[in-house]
Amino acid sequence: MSVTVKLYGDLRDLAVRKDSMTESIGVLELDDFDASAEVTQLLDVLGLEESDVSHIFVNRKYSAITKTIKNGDRVALFPSDMGLLYHWYFPKEE
């Protein structure tokens, strides 16, 4: 399955290319990602620990690490040093 991953902050160094609109966002296209995997498996593929990530968005919705990723989904990962306040405003989707 195909998944687009946008990486922010220091995590963008894991990406092979940058977002076409801004150089501050790294982009990965994972074409052979396991179907119906959770965000935890995505972190494993990227070589990241749960503690490396502060916020996760799947299809622009604030999500838990247990959120299931489906074909065509877009995932955004923010590093732990970018402790944004999203958890105060949005409930996490499981």
pLDDT of amino acid 82? 77
- The values of phi and psi at residue 40, to 5°, are -60, -40
Q: How confident is the model at residue 51 (pLDDT cuts 50, 70, 90)?
A: very high
| pLDDT, tens digit (0-9, with 9 covering 90-100), for 8-42 | 988 988 887 666 666 678 888 888 877 779 999 99
pLDDT of amino acid 21? 64
Q: Cα(first)–Cα(last) distance of the chain, in Å? A: 20
- Over residues 47-58, the mean pLDDT reads 93
Residue type, 53: V
| Domains, the chain, with CATH or none | 3-88 (3.10.20.30)
Q: In sequence order, what are the residues at sequence separation of 6 or more whose Cβ sits closer than 8 angstroms to the Cβ of residue 8?
A: 24, 25, 26, 76, 77, 78, 79, 82
